[in-house]
Chain A
Amino acid sequence: MMQRKWKIAALLAVTLLTGSVYASAEEYSLDYDFLSWLFDFQRTKGVKPVTDKQYLEECGACHFAYQPGLLPAKSWEALLNDEALRKHFGVNAELDNDTLKDIRDYAIKNSAGNSWYKQSRKIAAATEQGPAPLRITELRYISRKHHDIPEKMIKGNKDVKSLSFCDKCHTQAGKGVYDPDTVNIPHYPNWDGWFNK
């Protein structure tokens, strides 16, 4: 009898747990189907890799094609418009209207708040309030993850130079994987100690 009671309690708890996850899904107002995520066993720990060819070509022509899931929608809205692109971090990066619309739509659709990927969810939660961050390196989550890396490994490293060049150290950045286990800082193979990686 007691065992049956516990089983009922367990069932109720599972329902509650599922409900809380579903509630957070609604909170994020995601397009992605909750059930698809629940039964999808593919790893979604990092950010969603870029799949749009146009985005890859246009953005990737000048710099690493940062995944849209690295910034919230409000940031992409502020970054991807005619005026902002004329002064895109000191460079004129204007695009024709059709291309800009496609890229902007793709970025917003896959932005941090619209993704089930874990790092995107963290970024979305951290940027929910306050002004739109315009630099990925300004995000609290990103700066916190890098705060204990000695400066000479990045700025003083001629093969890295800046945190902006994600793919210099994150060997699987193109796939949206930013796991510390996949980090290889040029010239510092033991940057984190073998067993600490």
Chain B
Amino acid sequence: MKCRNKFGNVVAGVCLAVFSGMVHADNAAGNNELPTAASFYTNNYQLLKSQSVNSAPFLLAANEGNAVQGQADLTPAAPAAEFSPPWLTGRKAHQYLGLGTVLFAGLTAMAAPGEACEHNCPAQPAPRETSGTTHTRLARTTAALAIATVITGLLYHWDDFHLEDGFSDPDNQHVMLAGTGALMMLYAINKSAKSSVPTSHAGIAELGAVSMLVAIKLTW
């Protein structure tokens, strides 16, 4: 129990640090004059559109011809710098977390304790361990990674999936498969953690991991 609390505190601490870091980066990043993509997500987009900070000249709309003619001088005179993509972005974090989830799911499966005793069994079997073993620790890490992957996916790829694009759209397939896979793994972990007797949970967890793997491949 003590170990579980410690683990929970560590996960909560990491999540808080990550989110406050993201908010700080978002606030510090930039150009206060312009709304950021995050502000579109965290605030009501239509409301923002109607506010003065986001008035007509800021919106690209649909490539209409002469909406900003004569405004070329609005461009600030900043020197062009050599561009190299940042090593860590929200989207990259989502990618690494997703790959990490699948990797840890594999490690969890490999660290699973063997089958229950079939021959020469002791009269009193040892109590089932639902925490403190390598398998349970790896499983909980996998769960934390899966949750972080889903959260970062929602934050940084929220504009990639649209229901109107239908089932054949690769991003929609990715969301459905990865989301379902994460839920299956969480269900399996929860089911096993709450049971005092051996319980079947490997299949559903493995299925969840495979589902996430297919989701990754579809948008790789």
Contact yes or no, B210 A10, CB < 8 A: yes
Kindly identify which residue among A17, A24, A151, A192 contacts B211, using a CB–CB cutoff of 8 Å.
A17
Contact yes or no, A152 B165, CB < 8 A: no
Contact yes or no, A155 B68, CB < 8 A: yes
Contact yes or no, B68 A5, CB < 8 A: no
Given the known inter-chain contacts A182-B85, A196-B26, please indicate yes or no for A144 contacting B60, CB distance below 8 A. no
Contact yes or no, B168 A24, CB < 8 A: yes
Contact yes or no, B62 A143, CB < 8 A: yes
B200 interface residue per 8 A CB criterion: yes
Contact yes or no, B200 A6, CB < 8 A: yes
Q: How far is the CA of A171 from the CA of B83 in the complex (A)?
A: 8
A158 interface residue per 8 A CB criterion: yes
* Of A88-96, A100-108, A117-125, the one touching chain B: A117-125
Binary contact track B167-185/A, C-beta < 8 Å → 1, others 0? 0111100000100000000
Chain B residues within 8 Å of chain A by Cβ, number = 64
Given the known inter-chain contacts A122-B169, A125-B169, A144-B159, please indicate yes or no for A197 contacting B203, CB distance below 8 A. no
Binary contact track A25-58/B, C-beta < 8 Å → 1, others 0? 0010000000000100101110000000000000
Contact yes or no, A181 B89, CB < 8 A: yes
B4 interface residue per 8 A CB criterion: no
Given the known inter-chain contacts A9-B207, A126-B165, A192-B37, please indicate yes or no for A181 contacting B86, CB distance below 8 A. yes
Kindly identify which residue among B78, B156, B168, B170 contacts A189, using a CB–CB cutoff of 8 Å.
B78
* Of B7-15, B69-77, B142-150, the one touching chain A: B69-77
Q: How far is the CA of A2 from the CA of B21 in the complex (A)?
A: 45
Contact yes or no, B210 A188, CB < 8 A: no
For A153, the chain B residues whose CB sits under 8 A away are 60
Chain B residues numbered 53-93 whose CB sits less than 8 Å from any CB in chain A: 57-63, 67-68, 71-72, 74-78, 80-81, 83, 85-86, 89-92
A156 interface residue per 8 A CB criterion: yes
Q: How far is the CA of A182 from the CA of B166 in the complex (A)?
A: 28
B contact set with A: CB distance below 8 Å = 21-22, 25-26, 28-31, 34, 36-38, 40, 57-63, 67-68, 71-72, 74-78, 80-81, 83, 85-86, 89-92, 115, 156, 159, 162, 165-166, 168-171, 177, 199-204, 206-207, 210-211, 214, 217-220
A contact set with B: CB distance below 8 Å = 2-3, 5-10, 13-14, 17-18, 21, 24, 27, 38, 41, 43-45, 118, 121-122, 125-126, 137-138, 143-159, 162-163, 171, 179-182, 184, 186-197
